[in-house]
Amino acid sequence: MKKEKKKKSTKHLFLICFLLIVVSACSNDDSSSSDTVDDSSSDTVDDDSVDNDNGSVTTDGLHAAFAEFDTDETDIYLDGDNVVIETTGYPNHTSYYWGEDHELYLDEDIGANATPSTIPGRDASATLTVSANPELATSSTSTQLGTIGISVSGAAIFNDQEGNGALTDGVAKGLDYSGGHIGPSVYHYHLEPKAFTDDDENLVGILADGFFIYGRKCNSTGTYPTDLDDSGGHTHTTQHSDTEEYHYHIINELYLDQYYIIFAGDYKGNPGNIN
């Protein structure tokens, strides 16, 4: 009788072991299946986040720097191999040139040197089309009067000329605190736009040749770059690119002993279309 009882106990033990093995196998199969899905998911490339030829992180195929532009004032998108920047042309910050009745009006002491025009009621819209992957040209091109680039605020960037002559001290004194004024057409910046970059590395905007322009300091060093060419450009990494790419800086040299001109050089790339 004892032998028979022992035999039954052995059978029960074998059955329990078998069930444990089956449950464990099923559990392992489920875990393996879950791991396979996760691996596949992590290897999938998100179409909205890829790298361009410059190695910069991009969104919807656009260079990462475009994320700095005010989306209320600009609309930026790809059109084939080009980037289109549509802007209202209005600055997104306070200024004397908004006029006393506007909520963004700032009472500044620029007195008789200020131009009589104001921003409201004026069509300042513009469209800049540039290459999505700009390249240095074999020869430089002079900038023209009028808009030479679009800033992150939405307003236009002008060069160092005013009325076919160099910016004078009298005209400069009529610029608002952010280096901008109206004359004769749209609100635009001649000087370092302190509303969004002031002795720092911040992005200023994009010029008509497709290259970005930054503040006086370099992100890679935290200080003023010493290797700039005659247009204030060099090839280096930025806060928007992990690999080196050509870009401009506001040159850290005083103009008329007190101002920093945004851009006084030639385009180093091929200018796109502004209209």
Instruction: Compute φ and ψ for 205, nearest 5 degrees.
Output: 165, -155
168 and 236 assigned to the same domain: yes
Verify that 221 and 161 share a domain, yes or no: yes
pLDDT value, residue 54: 44
Give residue 145's pLDDT.
Answer: 93
pLDDT value of residue 60: 75
How many angstroms separate the CA atoms of 190 and 180, rounded? 6
Q: Are residues 160 and 262 in the same domain?
A: yes
Distance CA 269, CA 131 (A): 10
- Give the C-alpha separation, 4 to 9, whole Å: 9
pLDDT at 58 (0 to 100): 54
How would you list the strands of the sheet with 212-214, edge to edge? 180-182, 187-189, 156-157, 149-151, 203-207, 212-214, 241-249, 233-238
How far is the C-alpha of 255 from the C-alpha of 75, rounded, in Å? 33
The reply to whether omega before 184 is within 30° of 0 (cis) is yes
Q: Do 81 and 19 lie in a common domain?
A: no
- The stretches of the chain forming alpha helices (DSSP H) are 2-43, 169-172
Q: Are residues 81 and 16 in the same domain?
A: no
Q: Is 181 helix (H, G, I), strand (E, B) or coil?
A: strand
Are residues 157 and 150 in contact, defined by beta-carbon separation less than 8 angstroms? yes
pLDDT for the residue numbered 40: 34
Locate all alpha helices (DSSP H) within 82-239, ordered by sequence: 169-172
* Residues 8 and 129 grouped into a single domain: no
What pLDDT, on a 0 to 100 scale, did the predictor assign at position 217?
98
Low-confidence ranges of the chain (pLDDT < 70): 1-59
Q: Is residue 15 part of a domain?
A: yes
Domain assignment present for 164: yes
Same domain as 145, residue 233: yes
Range of the domain at 25: 1-44
Question: How many Å apart are CA 115 and CA 118, to the nearest integer?
Answer: 8
Which two structure tokens, joined as six digits, stand for 233?
């450009």
Listing from the earlier edge strand, what are the strands of the sheet with 82-87?
74-79, 82-87, 126-131, 273-274
| Residue 150 confidence (pLDDT) | 98
CA atoms within a 13 Å half-sphere pointing along the CA-CB vector of 213: 34
- Same structural domain, 165 and 129: yes
Answer yes or no: are the C-beta atoms of 56 and 245 closer than 8 Å.
yes
pLDDT at 59: 54
Eight-state DSSP code of residue 255: B
Residue type for 78, please? L
| Structural domains in the chain (count) | 2
- The type of residue at 202 is N
In the block, which residue shows the tokens 């060099």? 234
